[in-house]
């Protein structure tokens, strides 16, 4: 096996492990929360003054935008699948391990939410951050993976862009 093939295999394995880890962490958390709510019949579970767990079924996209049960739901699901395929293409084309990690987190989180859209016909969100009367949008572990991946990717690109400007 030559060096290029070994690097490709390492990229592929790293990417699959991160995608699987994000997906698994998301599935376990959602299954636990759904069973908890079914068994205990809670509406909200108070953790502290900044955090509640509150199971909400999201039929839209990020932050509950475009809530729908019609053909729009299927169209959005198709768009999400297309984005996941595009992110996987970017993973294959990437030469940076850090970029692969970030893109794999995004893909793993997106696959977790796509799974729910297909299996439940809705995405279970349950993490409710708040301060006083202000509540952030309810989200889940997949959303955390996607957000961390995007933020790290933006930071990485900003640093890479600044370094390129310094070096002319």
Going from N- to C-terminal start, the domains of the chain cover 3-166
**Which one of 29-43, 48-62, 87-101 scores highest in mean pLDDT?**
87-101
Mean pLDDT lowest among 66-75, 83-92, 143-152: 66-75
Instruction: Provide the pLDDT confidence category of residue 167 given band limits of 50, 70 and 90.
Output: low
Catalytic residue, from 26, 116, 125, 128: name it.
125
Residue 35's pLDDT is 92
Predicted local distance difference test score (pLDDT) of residue 128:
93
pLDDT at 10 over 90: no
Phi-psi region for residue 127, left (φ > 0), alpha (ψ -120 to 50) or beta?
beta
- Under a CB-based contact definition with an 8 Å cutoff, are residues 110 and 83 in contact? yes
For strands 123-131 and 134-135, give the pairing: antiparallel
Whether the CB-CB separation of 150 and 35 falls below 8 Å is answered with no
**Confidence class for position 59, pLDDT limits 50, 70, 90:** confident
CA gap 92, 16 in Å, rounded: 11
How would residue 67 be classed by pLDDT, with cut points 50, 70 and 90?
A: low
pTM: 0.86
Burial category of 57 from C-beta neighbours within 10 Å (exposed 0-12, middle 13-18, buried 19 and up): middle
Higher pLDDT residue, 59 or 122?
Answer: 122
CA distance 59 to 54: 16
- Residue 22 pLDDT class (50, 70, 90 cuts): very high
Average pLDDT over all residues of the chain: 88
Whether 116 sits among the annotated catalytic residues: the reply is no
Residue 157: active-site member: no
List 26, 116, 128, 143, catalytic entry: 143
Measured distance CA(145)–CA(87) in Å, rounded: 14
The answer to whether residue 39 scores a pLDDT higher than 80 is yes
């Amino acid at each position: 096996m030559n060096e290029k093939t070994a690097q490709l295999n390492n990229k592929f394995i790293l990417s699959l492990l991160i995608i699987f880890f994000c997906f698994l962490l998301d599935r376990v958390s959602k299954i636990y929360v759904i069973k908890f709510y079914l068994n205990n019949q809670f509406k909200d579970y108070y953790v502290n003054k900044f955090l509640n767990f509150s199971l909400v079924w999201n039929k839209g996209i990020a932050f509950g935008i475009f809530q729908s049960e019609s053909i729009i739901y299927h169209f959005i699901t198709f768009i999400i699948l297309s984005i996941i395929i595009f992110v996987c293409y970017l993973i294959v084309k990437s030469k940076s391990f850090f970029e692969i990690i970030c893109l794999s987190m995004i893909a793993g989180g997106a696959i977790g939410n796509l799974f729910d859209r297909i299996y439940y016909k809705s995405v279970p969100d349950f993490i409710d951050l708040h301060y006083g009367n202000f509540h952030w949008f309810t989200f889940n572990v997949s959303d955390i993976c996607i957000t961390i991946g995007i933020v790290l990717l933006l930071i990485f690109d900003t640093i890479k862009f600044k370094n390129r400007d310094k070096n002319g």
